[in-house]
Amino acid sequence: MLTSFRKQKAILKFALWFVIIAFVVTIFLVWGVGDKVANANFLMKINGQTVSYEEYSNALENTRNYMRSIFGDNFDSLAQDGELEKKVIEDLTNKHLLIQKAKENGITVSDDEVLALITSIPSFQVDGQFNKEAYQTILARSRMTPQQFEESVRADRLSEKMRELITASVSVSDEEVAKEYSYRNKKASVSYITFNAENFAHEVKAEEAVLKEYFSANAENYRIPKRIKVLYTYFDPAVFTPSAVISDQDAESYYVRNQDQFNTPETVHARHILIRVEDWHNEDAVKAALAKTESILNEIKGGLDFAEAAEKYSADSSAANGGDLGFFTKGQMVPEFEQAAFALNSGEISGVVKTMYGYHLIKAEEKKEASKPTLDEVKEDIKKLLTAQSGEAEFREYVFGRYTAIVKAANITAYNSTAEKQLPVRETGFFSAEDIIEPVSANPDVMTKLFKLSKSEVSQVETINGVSYIFEIEDVQESRIPEFDEVRSAVAADYVNAEAVKFAAAKSEEAMKEADIKAAADKLGTTFTTTPQFIRVQQIPGIGMNLELNDMIFAAGTGKFIARPFINGSSVYAVYVNEIVEPSMDELKDYADMIKNELLMTKSDEALRSYLEEAKAKAKIEISPFYENLFK
């Protein structure tokens, strides 16, 4: 059965390779490993193979960024302490085990496969075509060389091939599909009597000694979280006035030093027609594609408009626009295509051009020669750029100077007590990590950092919504269990409710001893509610959605009460199953493929998990003593 369909999934359960794909698509990469790298050069060794702290650090940051892109700021409240770190370590371990097993099985990844994967990544494309300049720019921004990235892509593909090998033997029978369809589409109708705890509260005796005993047994429920009081100063670049004045000579110097920046490279505006070749090893398909391309070229020579031919024949996404690729420079297209396009004069059409994608016909609509503007043409733009750069640098220097002075003085309070010109200061009241407090709540990472600081300690310079902040911990209230008298009223309310629920459950059990729901209601002198039919994953009218209750209903069978009273908060339900209706199998054919694919996915996950558990049990895993705490 489809386990994921029956059980509620943990919201932060995800695989590292999925996040790696997300990185490839969105380039969420942070390069840098922190201070610990100076003390240890590995996180762990798996069968002698080193997994660096750097790799773990990058994977963790990629994962955080990816999850925040899905959950937003809610992610930080959802992620439990250490849960994310442990998951990343687990997925890194699995990835390296798969790569090792792939190599043992003689699995390889060719250069052509790596190239095909990279060129298909949307982040590296311009107008649907791989762009070498975009590729190099994005990697440079991430402080990653093409060789490093290509090797990471090769490793990811290698682990994926091993997963494919492990799951290749997984199959799903028609019987399994039918059984799952029946499981999902069975319908039930129930009747229930509701017992509200508040109606039994008068039967509860909340004596002082009992309340103290209840408080002692449940003390953690009343724990007061750590709270801090913060004062801070801030620096807004929007109101900062830089002192630098950019002269004509400054602009000229920049112009001379950055000639390449002002060069407009040679460009060509081209259209193309692509006849795609999916498998170059299939000689018949290759010959057919070439013949079709040559036939189209003959049609164009015979008078067919190139744009019309592209709309009619091209397999590229640009076909809808008559094959129009717009203007592009050298380095933006694959080499064979680029060479042919730039060899054409305006209005010329190429012969058949072969690339890794298939066969192309190219028409040069217009060519523009390389050019460079004069200094006078760009002088004002250069001045604006240099003014902005100078202002940013001066602002950073100013903030760093204030920060250095604050640290030298010990903290913001000490600095302002002696400074001729005091810094603007604001204070917060006491707040916990779960509270909404401005400006800290706008950046959960800053919130986390502040709660790690001690009283009177200052933070680093933190940027929140473009404004630079320096925080000082003015006071700290450590987490504690309150005295009983501080929370007596809350304890009393909780105790009365808990005991009242027990009374309600006992009354519900008494009702469920009767023959049916009507007999139970008659005996109690109350009424019952009857629902329309529903399937497992639907809400029960009047009760809500609860998979545990739904499972009990379908397990009970027609004409029976469920196994026990169902408790939901302060309400208790005696639930009687009126009917269980098997679904008609007439519509199975409409859902069979979907169900089969989902079952295949589940069984594949189970096969992979089993394989990795066995591989992990046999593996020799050495953990660096510097990072043992990450594995606890």
Is 23's pLDDT higher than 50?
no
3-state secondary structure 360-403: EEEEEEEEECCECCCHHHHHHHHHHHHHHHHHHHHHHHHHHHHH
122, with CB counted inside 10 A (0-12, 13-18, 19+), is exposed
**pLDDT score, position 79:** 62
pLDDT at 340: 95
Q: What topology is assigned to 264-368 in CATH?
A: Chitinase A; domain 3 (3.10.50)
Going by pLDDT thresholds of 50, 70 and 90, the confidence category of residue 411 is: very high
Bond into 424 cis (ω within 30): no
For 424-438, what is each residue's pLDDT tens digit?
A: 999 999 999 999 999
| Terminal Cα-to-Cα distance of the chain (whole angstroms) | 33
- At residue 606 the predicted structure's pLDDT band, cuts being 50, 70 and 90, is very high
**H-helix segments, 72-107:** 74-78, 83-104
Whole-number pLDDT of residue 41: 63
| DSSP secondary structure string for all residues of 143-200 | T--HHHHHHHHHHHHHHHHHHHHHHTT----HHHHHHHHHHHH-EEEEEEEEEEGGGG
Q: What is the mean pLDDT of the chain?
A: 89
> What are the sequence ranges of the domains in the chain?
3-170+607-631, 187-201+486-581, 227-244+387-477, 264-368
Q: What is the pLDDT of residue 74?
A: 65
On the question of pLDDT at 454 being above 80, the answer is yes
What local confidence, expressed as pLDDT, does residue 201 receive? 96
For residue 27, pLDDT beyond 50? no
pLDDT score of 271 more than 80: yes
Higher pLDDT, 243 or 395: 395
- Band the pLDDT of 265: cuts 50, 70, 90: confident
CB 53 within 8 A of CB 40: yes
Per-residue pLDDT, averaged over 500-515, amounts to: 97
More confidently predicted of 372 and 23: 372
- What is residue 32's predicted lDDT score, i.e. its pLDDT? 34
What is the DSSP track for 414-471?
HHHHH-SSPPP-EE---EETTS--TTGGG-HHHHHHHTTSPTT-B---EEETTEEEEE
Q: pLDDT tens for residues 522-577?
A: 999 999 999 999 999 999 989 999 999 999 999 999 999 999 999 999 999 999 99
- Report the pLDDT value the prediction gives residue 4, as an integer from 0 to 100: 34
Residue 376 and residue 368 in contact, taking contact as beta carbons nearer than 8 Å:
no
pLDDT tens digits, 69-109: 777 766 665 565 678 888 999 999 999 999 999 999 999 99
Query: CA nearest 56: which of 99, 86, 11, 24?
Result: 86
| 241/11: higher pLDDT | 241
Please say whether the structural domain 3-170+607-631 has been given the CATH code 3.30.499.10. no
CATH tag for 227-244+387-477 (out of 3.10.50.40, 3.30.420.40, 3.30.70.330, 2.60.40.10) = 3.10.50.40
pLDDT band, very low/low/confident/very high, at 195 (cuts 50, 70, 90)? very high
* pLDDT higher than threshold 50 for residue 3: no
**Percent of the chain at pLDDT exceeding 90:** 67
pLDDT attached to residue 73:
62
Quote the pLDDT of residue 126.
82
pLDDT, tens digit (0-9, with 9 covering 90-100), for 276-328: 998 899 999 999 999 999 999 999 999 999 999 999 999 998 999 999 999 99
Residue predicted with more confidence, 274 or 54: 274
pLDDT at 55: 87
The Cα–Cα gap between 226 and 430 comes to: 9
Put the strands of the sheet holding 49-51 in their side by side order.
49-51, 44-46, 621-623
Does the fold of domain 264-368 match that of domain 3-170+607-631? Answer: no
pLDDT the model gives residue 78? 59
